[in-house]
Amino acid sequence: MNLEKIQALQHHLQENEIDWAYLSDPGHIAYFSGYHSEPHERILALFIPAVGEPFLFTPALEVQAASESSWSFEVFGYLDNEAPYQLIADLIKKRSKSLARFAFEKSSLNLKNFELFTQYFNGDYSYDLTPVIQCLQLIKTPRECELLLEAGSWADVAFEIGFKAIQAGATESEIVAEIEYQLKRRGVSHMSFDTIVLAGENAAKPHGNPGDTQVKPHEFVLFDLGVIWKGYCSDATRTVSYKEPKDFDRKIHEIVLEAQLNAQQAIKPGITAAELDAVARNTIASYGYGEYFTHRLGHGLGTTVHEFPSLVEGNDLVIEEGMCFSIEPGIYIPGKVGVRIEDCYYVTKDGAIPFTKTPKALQIIE
């Protein structure tokens, strides 16, 4: 449980005259409560009042696990045959007289649950908590950095498994399956997103889906993967060659690597998010491939895989010590070749330390 951040959120609620915050994103709930769970279609919620004690609301079958986590306030459960929002409304009404303003995570609460919740109240529901939480999470504690580093080292293990699985005839799906199977055997139960393995020209689709395409000699294989470890995420990308690469592909890899390293070296407190994006973008543009770098340079990560800061053109946010984010330039030439190289970092007082250590120079798998 992160009491300091709960109190910071309560302070924010008081300042903005909000009575209750309804947190619904499992990663955000884990961040404040210390209890990590993916409830699927059931309800997992954290209710934080401006004044008073927060409570966790979980499916009945999770109450014990939630109570045994580091969460030290009350936990309430509901059975599948009960109406969860009736119970929630009773709990909230019992705890406070003022029920005028509620704040929601607009990016995570679905419309059905929003309607079920609000039928019990007559309040103002306009306030969006998502950016508030993203700001609270922006600076990581040393303990959070340690966990992100541990999650990153599991991504290194995943790369090693994946590179070994490359062989004539292996399909993208088979390599994905091998990575996730081996990790699960070692106790890593969740990936932070569906593992991406893309062979040949498929790698030119930045978020393509692995399928039955086989790896072929003299073509690239792109791996983008990460795990959730003790509630914290990793996210890293390597592009390797199966046997000697074509000269053109090798050149594209060199350019992306140069852009990635230039941006990595530019990380320090005081630079802005947009300036970092420009460092990588200008490198790629200087070789004439600017139009093929079709996404932002990076994103923050923590208990969720996409957080603040967003490293994107126009974002003048000043980078500070303790922020954690990815640097992931890419060049995607449709029908030809795709390369992305990604590491996540935490910002120190004069630079940055990566969470993943797998070498970035082009690896040739024989």
Pick between residue 201 and residue 224 the one whose CB is nearest to Mn ion.
Answer: 224
Per the CB < 8 A criterion, the answer to whether 259 and 280 are in contact is: yes
In terms of DSSP bridges, do strands 124-128 and 337-340 run parallel, antiparallel, or are they unpaired? unpaired
Q: Which long-range contacts (CB under 8 A, 24 or more apart) does 175-180 make?
A: 175/210, 175/215, 175/221, 176/210, 179/225
- Among the residue ranges 55-63, 66-74, 79-87, 234-242, the one whose residues contact Mn ion (CB under 5 A): 234-242
Q: Which is nearer to Mn ion, 239 or 283 (CB)?
A: 239
**C-beta closer to Mn ion: residue 246 or 295:** 295
Q: How far is the CB of 300 from Mn ion (least distance, A)?
A: 10
- Is position 224 an interface residue for Mn ion (rule: CB under 5 A)? yes
Q: Which stretch binds Mn ion (CB under 5 A): 56-64, 162-170, 256-264, 322-330?
A: 322-330
Q: Report how far residue 234's alpha carbon sits from residue 32's, in angstroms, rounded to the nearest whole number.
A: 19
- Spell out the alpha helix ranges (H) of the chain: 3-15, 26-33, 63-68, 84-95, 111-118, 130-136, 142-164, 172-185, 247-266, 273-286
Least separation in angstroms between CB 224 and Mn ion: 4
Report in angstroms how near the CB of residue 263 gets to Mn ion at its nearest: 13
Q: Does 235 bind Mn ion (CB under 5 A)?
A: yes
CB of 144 vs Mn ion, minimal distance in Å: 18
295: left (phi over 0), alpha (psi -120 to 50) or beta: beta
Size of the site for Mn ion (CB under 5 A): 4
Pick the stretch among 17-25, 35-43, 176-184, 325-333 that binds Mn ion (CB under 5 A): 325-333
Q: Which lies closer to Mn ion via its Cβ, residue 33 or residue 237? A: 237
Considering the complex, what minimum distance in angstroms separates the CB of residue 236 from Mn ion?
A: 7
- Among positions 326, 330, 341, 362, the unique one binding Mn ion when judged by CB under 5 A: 326
CA dist list (Å): 33 to 36, 191, 213, 238, 245: 8, 21, 42, 34, 48
Query: Least Å distance between CB 238 and Mn ion?
Result: 10
Cα separation, 136 vs 140, in Å, equals 9
Binding site for Mn ion (CB under 5 A): 224, 235, 237, 326
